């Protein structure tokens, strides 16, 4: 079961910088549930080429939900009014960049015409949750010389891992429970 935004915000999470992401979901014409991700540009200083949910750092004066909705609008052109916020997931820490990520889940209409924020996003990915679920593996990766184990999902040559992998694992687990 999804958390309420209030439940998620009350949870303690390690990280010196708060950020938020939106996990946009939609149901296609055949009834299959899809999630929307971004693939970051390869020339970025932080997390180049990685796949993530749209999101970013919290600006002063905004709530974390407002952060997630603003970032989704900036990165993929998704207007906040087009998102029906269903709930939240457990906050997730990042280990290298020391962020506390607060994920929110929203339902959107299928067939949205994405407007890519070209300074950060290389492409928008719409991946079926069943394909992601089937692609799950626990892997040992090495980043910046540090080995670690992480949930991974590889679909169509796109590898989701790290904080996004942990967020996706939480999402799939909560949806399975409903």
| Cα 91 from Cα 167, distance rounded (Å) | 8
Domains held by the chain: number: 1
Beta bridge partners of 84: 107
Q: Is residue 69 domain-resident? A: yes
- Are 20 and 65 a contacting pair, CB within 8 Å? yes
Cβ atoms within 10 Å of 66's Cβ, excluding its own: 14
Q: What three-state secondary structure class fits 123?
A: strand
| Cα 37 from Cα 23, distance rounded (Å) | 8
Q: Which pLDDT value is given to residue 178?
A: 72
Q: Is residue 19 domain-resident? A: yes
Straight-line distance from the first to the last Cα atom of the chain, in angstroms, rounded to the nearest whole number: 6
Q: Is residue 104 domain-resident? A: yes
CATH of the domain at 68: 3.90.79.10
Please, what is the Cα angle at 108 between 112 and 70, to 5 degrees?
A: 85
Q: Is residue 170 domain-resident? A: no
Q: Is residue 84 domain-resident? A: yes
Domain that includes residue 104, residue range: 5-128
Closest among 98, 100, 102 to 89, alpha carbons compared? 102
Q: Is residue 60 domain-resident? A: yes
Evaluate if residue 76 carries a pLDDT over 80. Answer: yes
pLDDT band at 118 (very low <50, low <70, confident <90, very high): confident
Q: What is the pLDDT of residues 5-38, one digit of tens each?
A: 999 989 988 888 899 999 999 999 999 999 999 9
Q: What is the largest CA-CA distance in the chain?
A: 44
Q: What is the mean pLDDT of residues 169-177?
A: 93
Q: What is the pLDDT of residues 82-99, one digit of tens each?
A: 999 999 999 999 877 788
Q: Is residue 155 domain-resident? A: no
| Cα 129 from Cα 112, distance rounded (Å) | 18
- Using a pLDDT cut of 90, give the percent of the chain over it: 74
Q: Which pLDDT value is given to residue 22?
A: 98
Q: Is residue 146 domain-resident? A: no
Question: 3-state SS string over 39-70?
Answer: EECCCCCCCCCCEECCEEECCCCCCHHHHHHH
pLDDT band at 142 (very low <50, low <70, confident <90, very high): confident
Q: What is the mean pLDDT of the chain?
A: 92
């Amino acid at each position: 079961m999804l958390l309420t935004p209030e439940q998620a915000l009350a949870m303690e999470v390690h990280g010196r910088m708060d950020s938020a992401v939106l996990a946009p979901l939609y149901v296609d014409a055949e009834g299959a549930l899809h999630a929307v991700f971004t693939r970051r540009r390869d020339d970025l200083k932080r997390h180049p080429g990685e796949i993530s949910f749209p999101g970013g750092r919290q600006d002063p004066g905004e709530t974390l939900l407002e952060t997630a909705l603003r970032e989704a609008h900036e990165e993929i052109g998704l207007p906040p009014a087009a998102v029906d916020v269903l709930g939240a997931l457990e906050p997730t820490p990042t280990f290298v960049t020391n962020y506390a990520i607060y994920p929110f889940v929203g339902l959107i209409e299928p067939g949205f015409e994405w407007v890519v924020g070209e300074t950060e996003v290389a492409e928008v990915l719409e991946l079926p949750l069943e394909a992601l679920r089937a692609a799950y593996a626990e892997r040992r990766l090495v980043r910046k010389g540090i080995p670690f184990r992480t949930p991974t999902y590889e679909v169509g040559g796109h590898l989701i891992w790290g904080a996004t992998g942990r967020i996706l694992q939480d999402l799939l687990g909560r949806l399975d429970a409903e």
